[in-house]
Amino acid sequence: MRKVFCCLAIIALMVAPSFAKIQQIGNLTADVPSGWNATQKGSVTVISHNSGKASVSVAVNSLGEASLTDIAERLYTQMGGEDLEQDSDGDYMFTFTDINGTTGLVILTDSGEGRYILMSVSGYGENDALDDEIDGIIDSLDWDD
């Protein structure tokens, strides 16, 4: 997972800077580019493009009695996921297709203390400019307890 974030960070540094402002949304801090809107919906932070063509959703949830593997497999099945992978850090990723036919990406990572971070990205791979902005958002994410 850290490799994915490192790659995304490198890509984000290579693109022309967009005008982003750091926003505190609940417990999450992120650079939100111009043309994007950040909101808190219950326990989920949603950063969405004003066109509706892309979004990044982030939530921190309790593992409860389940393992990260259990949760990844359950979500993978429920969402009709494809290509479930676990990286060397133990993080899980898979792709899915939403109701609009748009490809999405789910990333799950153990955040420690019996919790996990669930990130869902919609619209990635549809438009290079949006991809660059999504990379920047992901790279900037910081969760405060």
Tell me the β-bridge partners of 143: 28
Class of domain 2-143: alpha beta
Question: How is the beta sheet containing 28-33 ordered, strand by strand?
Answer: 20-25, 28-33, 142-143
Rg (alpha carbons) of the chain, rounded to whole number? 15
CA distance 93 to 107: 5
Q: Which residues contact 91 (CB under 8 A, 6 or more apart)?
A: 1, 2, 4, 107, 108, 109, 110
Contact 110, 92 (CB under 8 A): no
pLDDT reported for residue 19: 59
pLDDT reported for residue 43: 83
CB burial of 75-108 (b: ≥16 within 10 Å; e: otherwise) equals bbeebebeeeeeeeeebbbbbbeeeeebebbbbb
pLDDT reported for residue 15: 45
Q: What pLDDT tens digit does each residue of the chain (145 aa) get?
A: 555 544 444 444 444 444 567 888 877 889 999 999 999 988 899 999 999 889 999 998 899 999 999 999 999 999 999 999 999 989 999 999 888 788 889 999 898 889 999 999 998 887 888 889 998 998 888 877 6
pLDDT reported for residue 100: 77
CA distance 30 to 38: 9
pTM of the complete model: 0.76
pLDDT reported for residue 14: 43
